[in-house]
């Protein structure tokens, strides 16, 4: 029997709080003891990656308490409930099925009289068949010419995840002769966004993918109209160039304005939707369906690994538990995501939405206020760029910010140069290693301006290189980490009511139904 409890009602909660200040990172990471921790505090991940948490403020006793918390809180059982089709999204009374898009881990899930796994597979096959026909020249523009570019029109989860994945594999695909079409993305309702993308593409040879589950998203429909005007101005029939990714009940589903429609459903939230047709259509067009399938295979490996009840063998679960310790016991507000891979340049932005939209909640899954802090603020940029930007605060600021590094032994492309005795990739790896130790151990100096206190916790995910399977595994690792943290805090990680109020007020402003300060602000912009 699953019991959904607030974190502070658990029997283990006092032990959990008693972990505060238990481990001195400076001492723990110094000398041979530090070398031993690096060797021992490492958890295998999917696709040969490792999660190393040596520079976190935990020890074996801490891990025992975190294991006790995971067991008492039934975190794996709750994950199994989710996989089995339980109503985990209590706010909207919905199932949560993004993992089902990439593997049948717990049998069939029937909802609304439909086998949902069959539904997701059928839509992925439809996307694959369509992409193959486009690549083969069986589906062309009105002049019988091949499409060369695909542009996704969407916002939030319809943009951030697919964009991050595309950028992560774009150069890999070019190197491996797997880039079938270039991809672009329009998200912001700011007209400069759409205009810039339209100026960068050959409109008569471009497919535009409108992504909106409801078919009513204001920003997306506005940008769609912007694009339709551009197509008409180019002498092109928009219905020959536009696709829809939407729900079967939306206004877009059966419209003759689209060359083809692909379907998603209410059981996959936007920030989790890269595994659905939201990602399948654009990524299959860009890279080919077989590459999208490889991404999903890596994600499925991560999903399976996340079922292990032993936190010392379950990277996503351990990552979540250590994050909860840092948030609830040590009181750290933020987490910095720092990929030492330029290909992951938009991955921190995707994780901002994934984490903050999921667990930025102050009531539990039953609508009751919680008496403890929940999700952290997520931010980040790729290294080494970030080192010359905000790392100053991370090293010497008054607030301690835990860090999540991601690094790879080898580059994606294979091009490199040896300068001053080492390659660019070795310099990149040397920097991430140096940063972990600098943050952990710091440096004494008579000059206070040059002294580093150290004690700044970090973990690192290490892989051989970034390729489709390892990217999928990384994506799913963070999705599962966020899911587990939602279970720990007893919040609903799968609704996002916080985005709705602003939308409603914006509609009032545009309808001139305003008064007070809302009207005064609108008047500043001559609305």
Task: Catalogue the E-assigned strands of 369-527.
Answer: 377-379, 403-408, 418-419, 422-423, 458-463
Q: Angle between the 160-175 and 289-305 helix axes, to the nearest 10 degrees?
A: 120
Query: Per the residue annotation, which of 199, 388, 446, 512 is the catalytic one?
Result: 388
Exposed/middle/buried for 308, CB within 10 Å: 0-12, 13-18, 19+?
middle
Q: How far apart are CA 482 and CA 360, in angstroms?
A: 11
Question: What mean pLDDT comes out for the span 285-297?
Answer: 98
Q: Average pLDDT for residues 253-265, to the nearest whole number?
A: 94
**15 has catalytic annotation:** no
Of 138, 503, 507, 513, the active-site residue reads: 503
Alpha helices by DSSP H, listed for 184-217, are 191-200
What local confidence, expressed as pLDDT, does residue 448 receive? Answer: 96
Mean pLDDT along residues 288-317: 98
Residue 155 pLDDT grade (very low, low, confident, very high; cuts 50, 70, 90)? very high
d(CA 359, CA 459): 21
387-426 residue pLDDT tens = 999 999 999 999 999 999 999 999 998 888 888 889 999 9
User: Average pLDDT in the 493-515 region?
Assistant: 92
The percentage of residues in the chain with a pLDDT greater than 90, rounded to a whole number, is 94
- pLDDT > 70 fraction of the chain, expressed in percent and rounded: 100
Please tell me the predicted confidence (pLDDT) of residue 77: 98
Model confidence at 301: pLDDT above 90: yes
The pair of three-digit structure tokens given for residue 339, joined into one six-digit string: 């990929």
* Residue 326 DSSP symbol: I
pLDDT for the residue numbered 499: 85
Question: What are the phi and psi torsion angles at 97 (to 5°)?
Answer: -130, 20
Distance CA 470, CA 411 (A): 13
Q: pLDDT-based confidence at 317, cuts 50/70/90?
A: very high
B/e letters for 15-52, b = 16+ CB within 10 Å, e = fewer, are: bbeebeeebebbebbeeeebeebbeebbbebbbebebb
pLDDT category at 482 given cuts 50, 70, 90 is very high
- Answer positive or negative: Cα dihedral of 508, 512, 516, 518: positive
Residue 92 annotated as catalytic: no
Q: Rounded mean pLDDT of 74-103?
A: 96
Q: What is the pLDDT of residue 227?
A: 97
Provide the greatest CA pair distance for the chain: 74
Predicted confidence (pLDDT) at residue 463 exceeds the cutoff of 90: yes
pLDDT attached to residue 413:
86
160: pLDDT confidence band, cut at 50, 70 and 90? very high
**pLDDT of residue 460 exceeding 90:** yes
DSSP state of 370: P
pLDDT of residue 106: 86
Mean pLDDT of the chain: 96
Q: How is residue 443 annotated by DSSP?
A: B
The model's confidence at residue 502, banded by pLDDT at 50, 70 and 90, is: confident
241 is catalytic: no
Residues facing residue 186 across a β-bridge: 153
Q: Which of 357, 381, 469, 479 is catalytic?
A: 357
The pLDDT assigned to 24 comes to 98
Residue 231 tokens read as 């197509």
The CA radius of gyration of the chain, in Å to the nearest whole number, is 24
Measured between alpha carbons, how far is 30 from 437 in angstroms, rounded to an integer? 9
Element (H, E) at 110: strand 110-111
Q: Is-contact 243 260, C-beta < 8 A? A: yes
Q: Report phi then psi at 212, rounded to 5.
A: -160, 115
**How many angstroms separate the CA atoms of 514 and 520, rounded?**
9
Give the β-pairing of 110-111 and 114-115. antiparallel
User: Residue 177, SS3?
Assistant: coil
What pLDDT sits at residue 216? 87
| pTM exceeds 0.95 | yes
104 pLDDT more than 90: no
Q: What is the mean pLDDT of residues 210-237?
A: 94
């Amino acid at each position: 029997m699953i019991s959904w409890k607030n974190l502070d009602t658990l029997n283990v909660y006092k032990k959990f709080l008693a972990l505060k200040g238990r481990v001195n990172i400076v001492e723990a990471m110094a000398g041979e003891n530090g070398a031993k921790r690096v060797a021992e505090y490492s958890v295998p991940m999917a696709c040969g990656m490792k999660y190393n948490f040596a520079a976190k403020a935990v020890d074996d006793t801490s891990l025992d308490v975190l294991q006790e918390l995971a067991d008492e809180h039934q975190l794996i059982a709750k994950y199994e409930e989710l996989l089995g089709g339980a109503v985990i999204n209590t706010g909207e009374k919905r199932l949560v099925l993004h993992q089902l898009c990439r593997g049948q881990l717990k049998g069939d899930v029937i909802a609304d009289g439909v086998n949902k796994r069959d539904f997701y597979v059928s839509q992925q096959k439809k996307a694959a068949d369509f992409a193959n026909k486009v690549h083969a020249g069986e589906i062309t523009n009105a002049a019988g010419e091949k499409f060369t570019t695909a542009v996704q029109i969407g916002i939030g989860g319809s943009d951030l995840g697919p964009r991050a994945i595309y950028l992560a594999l774009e150069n890999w695909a070019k190197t491996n002769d797997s880039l079938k079409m270039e991809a672009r993305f329009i998200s912001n309702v700011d007209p400069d966004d759409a205009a810039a993308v339209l100026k960068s593409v050959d409109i008569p040879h471009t497919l535009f993918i409108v992504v909106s589950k409801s078919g009513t998203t204001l920003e997306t429909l506005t940008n769609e109209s912007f694009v339709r005007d551009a197509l008409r101005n180019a002498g092109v029939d928009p219905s020959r160039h536009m696709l829809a990714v939407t729900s079967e009940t939306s206004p877009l589903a059966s419209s003759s304005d689209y060359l083809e429609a692909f379907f998603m459903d209410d059981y996959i939230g936007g920030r989790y939707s890269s595994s659905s047709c939201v990602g399948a259509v654009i990524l299959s067009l860009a890279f080919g369906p077989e590459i999208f399938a490889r991404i999903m295979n890596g994600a499925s490996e991560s999903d399976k690994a996340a079922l292990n009840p032993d936190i010392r063998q379950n990277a996503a679960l351990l990552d979540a538990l250590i994050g909860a310790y840092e948030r609830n016991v040590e009181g750290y507000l933020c987490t910095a995501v720092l990929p030492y891979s330029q290909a992951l340049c938009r991955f921190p932005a995707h994780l901002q939405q994934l984490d903050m939209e999921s667990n930025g909640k102050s009531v539990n899954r039953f609508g009751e206020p919680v008496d403890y802090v929940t999700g952290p603020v997520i931010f980040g940029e790729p290294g080494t760029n970030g080192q010359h930007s905000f790392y100053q605060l991370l090293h010497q600021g008054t607030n301690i910010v835990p860090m999540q590094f991601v690094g790879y032994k080898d580059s994606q492309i294979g091009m490199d140069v040896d300068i001053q005795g080492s390659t660019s990739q070795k310099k990149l790896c040397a920097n991430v290693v140096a940063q972990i130790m600098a943050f952990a151990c710091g440096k004494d100096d008579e000059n206070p301006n040059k002294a580093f206190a150290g004690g700044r916790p970090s973990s690192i995910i290490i892989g051989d290189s970034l390729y489709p399977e390892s990217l999928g595994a990384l994506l799913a690792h963070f999705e599962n980490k966020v899911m587990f943290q939602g279970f720990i805090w007893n919040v609903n990680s799968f609704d996002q009511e916080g985005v709705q109020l602003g939308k409603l007020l914006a509609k009032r402003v545009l309808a001139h139904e305003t008064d007070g300060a809302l009207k005064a602000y609108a008047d500043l912009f001559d609305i």
